[in-house]
């Protein structure tokens, strides 16, 4: 991962220089990123098996954490710099701008960090240790990086600018909103549009989500060994060669059959199954050839003289089998004698047949199967059931591939449940915060609602791009909750500030997008590039992680901008309506009080002549 960490830092440095336009801000941010990485790696060492033993050794998932933290932490730096510069432009001194700017940004940053940490700690519900370790290390990393950025950047910026201020060399601050030509005007125009006609934008987002949600029904959930093998490696080339030559690598699959071995129906069903596996057109697609091991084949080996070396032919067993099969039905008593004779001659027969005199026998059938298409492997049990002439409950097929897919499916389901729990937790945390600070818990719905739409759209886009829902991509979908809530919280917090100052719902939306919206664009670009560098990884799983992360960030930004300002405009109009209603009630109460005073005075004074 070291080359990707360096690449992420270089790309982010270029974007930071574009948005911040000062070398000192760039160096402060890069220093903060490097310190955060050192803290994370050090914390992983202290938590690891050679120290506290709370986590396992570094693994393929925890190595992603530094790149993830780089992508997330740079957002904190841009928001801090943006609020500081706004205060400077307003005329504050360096120390005052740092204090007031930090006061304005610390709440949304802490809320965003808390929701991100919650989304990462949801991985603790996973049954896989390396996923739990990833959740712990990444969650701790987000918290530590927030501490670094909230302390290092304002302190460093204050020290540098106070010295320049004392020398009279402090230049006017430049707003981040003006970093890219035309962005502020475009943001204002979008703000006017979404504030005046919010319904079309919200409806458009919902229609896109419905369409992508329908596509998400075709999303595949799978895991293959190729996901964790480097592209172009010798092992991957060998697997590709096997695919081209024989259709893929193979493994031994086992079929357990619960049936009475001495019954005629059991022997007929075994014979039919053997014939089906010998037929290239009838055997299941993932089966590589005929049955290699079975009770029926073993019995025929003992009862038939093939004349080949290693033949197990036994004349006594052959005679018993001829007598047992003379009639229409097998003779169960003679068949039991055959089984006893075979076990006496070769105890290894018990590996193929478990003869239970007090219950149902168990037989083992083994064959070679391809471990290539998880979908076909999932269908193997159904295909075997169709070929077996008895009850479906009599047969159970298993293999290393089937076990891997079954475990992966269980893990994926657990991750999906964790996403739901994370959304609920984020909703509760934000509802409590908005209730405690503004008595407006409904704002939590505006903050979390767009993220639900983002998740659905991301899953649909993954299905359209052929990206499966695996252990790795399920992690980024959970992480997207923290990423998306970051944007919605910043927009809500800034809108409330502008609305309190202007008391105009439309103008507040315009100002929000013109200031915070431009800063969020920089945050989204740097975060997307920071995580997107993983798309260049030779590992398929890391590539999918990087692509899915970039898609998630893009949707989070677009949906936040198109949904939150219109929703907040409606909220602002409702607040004004409540205020007008409250003022009207106060005037009505005041009028009633004045009339009551006049009436009392008239009653107290005698009528004049």
Among 350, 370, 390, the domain-final residue is 370
pLDDT at 125 over 90: no
Q: Give yes or no: residues 105 and 46 share one domain.
A: yes
Q: Give yes or no: residues 188 and 257 share one domain.
A: no
Mean pLDDT, the chain, whole residue set: 82
Residue 550 lies in a domain: yes
The stretch 303-331 carries a mean pLDDT of 84
Within 10 angstroms of residue 332's Cβ, the number of other Cβ atoms is 14
The stretch 86-92 carries a mean pLDDT of 86
The predicted structure's pLDDT at residue 90:
84
pLDDT at 159 over 90: yes
Tell me the pLDDT band of 238, cut-offs 50, 70 and 90.
low
Sheet containing 250-258: give its strands across: 353-354, 362-370, 250-258, 395-399
The predicted structure's pLDDT at residue 595:
66
Residue 37 lies in a domain: yes
The predicted structure's pLDDT at residue 83:
85
The predicted structure's pLDDT at residue 475:
74
Number of compact structural domains in the chain? 2
The predicted structure's pLDDT at residue 43:
92
Phi then psi dihedrals of residue 398, to 5 deg? -150, 155
The stretch 340-364 carries a mean pLDDT of 88
Q: Which residues pair with 256 in a beta bridge?
A: 364, 396
Tell me the pLDDT band of 140, cut-offs 50, 70 and 90.
very high
Tell me the pLDDT band of 19, cut-offs 50, 70 and 90.
confident
Residue 386 lies in a domain: no
Q: Give yes or no: residues 283 and 156 share one domain.
A: no
pLDDT at 52 over 60: yes
pLDDT at 347 over 90: no
Long-range contacts of 165-173 (CB under 8 A, 24+ apart): 165/93, 165/94, 170/94, 172/88, 172/89, 173/84, 173/85, 173/88, 173/89, 173/97
For 552-599, the pLDDT digits (tens) are 888 888 888 888 888 888 888 877 787 666 666 677 666 666 767 767
Which of the pair, 603 or 430, is modelled with greater confidence?
A: 430
Residue 270 lies in a domain: yes
Residue 238 lies in a domain: no
Domain that holds residue 35: 2-230+404-584
Q: Which of 541, 537, 478, 542 is nearest to 223 (CA)?
A: 541
The predicted structure's pLDDT at residue 242:
54
Pairing of strands 353-354, 362-370: antiparallel
Residue 212 sits in a domain of what CATH number? 1.20.1640.10
Q: Give yes or no: residues 286 and 187 share one domain.
A: no
Q: Give yes or no: residues 38 and 87 share one domain.
A: yes
Q: Give yes or no: residues 332 and 475 share one domain.
A: no
Q: Give yes or no: residues 73 and 7 share one domain.
A: yes
Q: Give yes or no: residues 37 and 81 share one domain.
A: yes
Pairing of strands 362-370, 250-258: antiparallel
The predicted structure's pLDDT at residue 35:
94
Q: Give yes or no: residues 39 and 180 share one domain.
A: yes
The predicted structure's pLDDT at residue 155:
92
The stretch 229-253 carries a mean pLDDT of 61
pLDDT at 308 over 70: yes
Residue 446 lies in a domain: yes
Structure token digits, residue 510: 């315009």
For 282-294, the pLDDT digits (tens) are 888 888 889 999 9
Share of the chain above pLDDT 70, in %: 86
Among 370, 395, 422, the domain-final residue is 370
The stretch 528-534 carries a mean pLDDT of 78
pLDDT at 147 over 90: yes
Residue 602 lies in a domain: no
The predicted structure's pLDDT at residue 348:
82
Global pTM value: 0.70
The stretch 97-120 carries a mean pLDDT of 84
For 164-221, the pLDDT digits (tens) are 888 888 888 887 766 666 777 777 787 788 877 888 888 888 999 999 989 988 877 6
Structure token digits, residue 1: 């991962």
The predicted structure's pLDDT at residue 241:
63
For 92-104, the pLDDT digits (tens) are 888 898 898 888 8
The predicted structure's pLDDT at residue 373:
64
Residue 213 lies in a domain: yes
Q: Give yes or no: residues 303 and 366 share one domain.
A: yes
Q: Give yes or no: residues 194 and 145 share one domain.
A: yes
> CA angle, 372 as apex, 368 and 375 as ends, to 5°?
105
Tell me the pLDDT band of 7, cut-offs 50, 70 and 90.
confident
Among 353, 370, 387, the domain-final residue is 370
pLDDT at 606 over 60: no
Q: Give yes or no: residues 260 and 194 share one domain.
A: no
């Amino acid at each position: 991962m070291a080359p990707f960490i360096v690449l992420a830092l270089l790309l982010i440095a270029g974007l930071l220089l574009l948005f911040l336009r000062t070398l000192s801000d760039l160096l402060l941010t890069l220093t903060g990123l490097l310190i955060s990485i050192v803290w994370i790696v050090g914390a992983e060492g202290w938590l690891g098996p050679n120290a506290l033993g709370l986590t396992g050794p570094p693994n393929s998932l925890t190595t992603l954490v530094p790149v993830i933290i780089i992508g997330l932490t740079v957002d904190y730096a841009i928001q801090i710099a943006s609020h500081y510069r706004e205060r400077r432009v307003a005329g504050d001194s360096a120390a005052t701008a740092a204090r007031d700017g930090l006061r304005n940004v610390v709440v949304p940053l802490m809320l965003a960090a808390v929701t991100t940490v919650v989304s990462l700690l949801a991985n603790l519900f996973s049954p896989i240790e390396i996923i739990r370790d990833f959740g712990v290390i990444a969650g701790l990393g987000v918290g530590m990086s927030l501490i670094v950025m909230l302390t290092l950047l304002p302190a460093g910026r204050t020290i540098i600018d106070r010295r320049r201020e004392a020398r009279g060399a402090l230049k006017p601050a430049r707003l981040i909103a003006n970093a890219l030509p035309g962005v502020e005007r475009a943001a204002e125009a979008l703000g006017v549009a979404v504030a005046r006609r919010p319904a079309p934008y919200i409806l458009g987002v919902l229609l896109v989500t419905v369409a992508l949600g329908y596509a998400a029904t075709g999303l595949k959930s799978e895991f293959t060994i190729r996901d964790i093998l480097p592209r172009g490696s010798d092992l991957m080339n060998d697997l590709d060669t096997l695919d081209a030559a024989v259709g893929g690598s193979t493994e031994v699959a086992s079929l357990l059959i619960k049936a009475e071995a001495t019954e005629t129906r059991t022997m007929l069903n075994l014979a039919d199954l053997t014939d089906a596996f010998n037929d290239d057109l009838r055997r299941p697609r993932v089966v590589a050839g005929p049955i290699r091991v079975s009770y029926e084949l073993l019995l025929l080996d003992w009862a038939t003289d093939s004349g080949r070396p290693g033949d197990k032919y036994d004349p006594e067993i052959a005679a018993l089998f001829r007598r047992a099969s003379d009639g229409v039905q097998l003779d169960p008593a003679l068949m039991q004698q055959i089984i006893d004779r075979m076990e006496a001659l070769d105890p290894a027969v018990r590996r193929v047949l478990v003869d239970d005199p007090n219950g149902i026998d168990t037989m083992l059938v083994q064959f070679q199967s391809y471990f290539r298409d998880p979908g076909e492997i999932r269908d193997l049990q159904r295909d075997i059931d169709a070929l077996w002439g008895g009850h479906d409950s009599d047969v159970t097929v298993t293999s290393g591939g089937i076990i891997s897919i079954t475990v992966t499916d269980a893990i994926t389901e657990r991750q999906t449940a964790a996403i739901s729990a994370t959304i609920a937790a984020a909703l509760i945390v934000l509802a409590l915060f908005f209730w405690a600070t503004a008595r407006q818990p409904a704002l939590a719905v505006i903050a979390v609602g767009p993220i639900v739409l983002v998740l659905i759209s991301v899953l649909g886009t993954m299905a359209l791009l052929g990206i499966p829902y695996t252990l790795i991509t399920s992690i980024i979908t959970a992480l997207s909750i923290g990423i998306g809530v970051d944007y919605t919280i910043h927009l809500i917090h800034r809108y409330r500030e502008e609305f309190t100052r202007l008391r105009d719902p439309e103008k507040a939306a315009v100002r929000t997008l013109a200031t915070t919206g431009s800063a969020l664009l920089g945050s989204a670009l740097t975060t997307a590039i920071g995580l997107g560098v993983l798309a260049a990884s030779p590992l398929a799983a890391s590539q999918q992680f990087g692509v899915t992360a970039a898609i998630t960030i893009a949707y989070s930004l677009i949906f936040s901008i198109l949904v939150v300002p219109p929703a907040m405009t409606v909220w602002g109009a409702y607040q004004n309506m409540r205020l007008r209603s409250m003022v009207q009630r106060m005037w009505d109460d005041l009028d009633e009080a004045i009339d009551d005073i006049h009436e009392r005075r008239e009653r107290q004074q005698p009528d004049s002549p």
